[in-house]
Structure 1
Amino acid sequence: MPVGIITNTCAILLGGIVGAIGGQHMSAAFKENLNLVFSLCSIAMGIYAIAPLKNLAAVIFAVIIGTILGLAIHLGTLITRGAEAMQRFISRFFQPTSSLDKPVFDATMVTVIVLFCASGTGIYGTLIEGISGDPSILISKSILDFFCAIIFGANLGAVVSLIAAPFFIILMLIFSVAHLVVPLTTPDMILDFKAAGGVLMLASGFRIARIKMFPTPDMIPIMVVVMPISWAWTTLIVPLLH
């Protein structure tokens, strides 16, 4: 049972509702300062995930190669277009209830969809739960997403809660794929995989605080290449160094 995915989905659903109901009581300064705390939490989660890595060189190679692949295929742009299509579908049934102009509302909704549905932390946490059964990353992320959904719900209305549906579908698909990966992994590969996910969480933390806008959507392929690179490093390269 994907406890982490269910918890994270409920967090977005409930957060959007709470934000829509109580958003008028939140000041801009309150929202801004809370975002800074979110960034610290994401950075802390990233450091925690990176610490036990096994092969630093393999993780560095994976980060560089995965990002190059993402940039080469314009993955970030493709994700944004998918979010725009999702927003157009939602807008057929739900009209904006916020005070924002429709162009601003639509652009903000696309940002929120990308943030929740194409989060490197979410994909990483889902793969970890699917591979090892550990939901802790997604449960920790649920806390952040709950408060993020409250803030976005305060600005956009209860429509933010609807993002929980595609979010659940996407993560369940990733979770299903993860089961196929399990027989092919080793403990060292799992540690390096977690470390690569930690790098994504660090990048997300810097983006949330607007310290540096790392291309996190384009960095998602890191999670695809890190295990093969870790295996190749351990099996082919390390023996040559001894």
Structure 2
Amino acid sequence: MIIGSMVNAATVFAGSLVGIFLKRFVSDKYEEIAFQGLGLSTIMLSLSMMLSIKNPLPVIFSVVLGGLVGEWLQLENRFLILGEKLRERLPGMRSNFAEGVVSASVLFCVGAMTITGCLQEGVTGDFSILLTKALLDGFASIVLATTWGWGVFAAGFVVLIFQGGLTLLARWIGPWMSDFLIAQLVGTGGILVLGIGMKLLGIKPVRTLSLLPSLLFIVIFSLVFPH
């Protein structure tokens, strides 16, 4: 079962609906300060994740190589085009729908609690970590949905598919994942989360989706160079 992931997706759905509803009653200045608070909190979270890095050199190579591969595959552009086509087909969608899906999905899915929670549920059946994460994501989705609207709601499906798949996969690979590999993977994810924080604060529009292949490369490098 993937109970933790289902509950997590449900809180994202519920939180985003609340945020969409509250949007009409919240002025721009309150929306801005809420985003700034979430952006600063996201950067704090990313820094705590990056502190888990045991060997920074493979992480650097993974992020750079992953970004190059992601750009070569045009991951960011392809997803934005797909999101725009979906927005055109569904009335009422805002122009930043795709940006909301990408940013919210990365924020919700790339983190220490995601990896450790899915591993814990997959290996032991205990989904307590994912329940805690669900509560946090529910509050975050309220704030995000005041700007990105239905894009955050759609990210709930990404949470369900990604975390559910990772939980099922953990049943087979979890016992063979070393603490070193998990630490490197979490640290690399922290760099991607930092990009989301920078975007939330309006510092720099980081092409986060193009950096996603770095998570695959850090797994490979961690297995080849386990120290």
Q: Name the TM-score, length of structure 2 as normaliser.
A: 0.80
The range that moved more, 107-116 or 137-146, is 137-146
- 1:202 CA displacement: 1.0
**Residues in 1 aligned to 2:87 and 2:164: alpha-carbon distance in whole angstroms:** 21
Show the counterpart of 1:188. Answer: 180
**Residues in 2 aligned to 1:126 and 1:84: alpha-carbon distance in whole angstroms:** 28
Show the counterpart of 1:145. Answer: 141
| Offset from partner CA, 1:6-64 (integer Å, 9 cap, x none) | 34322332223323433222110110111111111111111111112211112112111
1:32-111 → structure 2 map (5 Å cutoff): 32-89=32-89, 91=90, 95-96=91-92, 105-111=93-99
- 1:215 CA displacement: 1.3
Residues 8, 190 of structure 1: alpha-carbon distance in 2 compared, 3 angstrom cutoff: same
Q: Which runs of 4+ in 1 moved over 6 A?
A: none
- 1:188 CA displacement: 0.6
| Offset from partner CA, 1:150-199 (integer Å, 9 cap, x none) | 4444xx7xx96465345533543344345444244211111111110111
Paired residues of 1:67 and 1:222 also in contact (CA < 8 A): yes
Secondary structure of the residue aligned to 2:95 is: helix
Paired residues of 2:12 and 2:153 also in contact (CA < 8 A): yes
* Cα RMSD (Å): 2.8
The range that moved more, 28-37 or 64-73, is 64-73
Structure 2 unaligned spans of 5+: 122-128
2:119 maps to 1:131: yes
Show the counterpart of 2:208. Answer: 216
2:215 maps to 1:227: no
Q: Name the TM-score, length of structure 1 as normaliser.
A: 0.76
- 1:138 CA displacement: 5.8
Residues 78, 132 of structure 1: alpha-carbon distance in 2 compared, 3 angstrom cutoff: farther
Secondary structure of the residue aligned to 1:53 is: coil
The range that moved more, 182-191 or 23-32, is 182-191
Show the counterpart of 1:101. Answer: none
Paired residues of 1:43 and 1:201 also in contact (CA < 8 A): yes
1:106-121 → structure 2 map (5 Å cutoff): 106-117=94-105, 119=106, 121=108
Paired residues of 2:101 and 2:154 also in contact (CA < 8 A): no
**Residues in 2 aligned to 1:76 and 1:8: alpha-carbon distance in whole angstroms:** 25
**Residues in 1 aligned to 2:143 and 2:190: alpha-carbon distance in whole angstroms:** 21
Secondary structure of the residue aligned to 2:225 is: helix
Structure 1 unaligned spans of 5+: 97-104
| Offset from partner CA, 1:41-98 (integer Å, 9 cap, x none) | 1111111111122111121121111111111211111222332344345x1xxx32xx
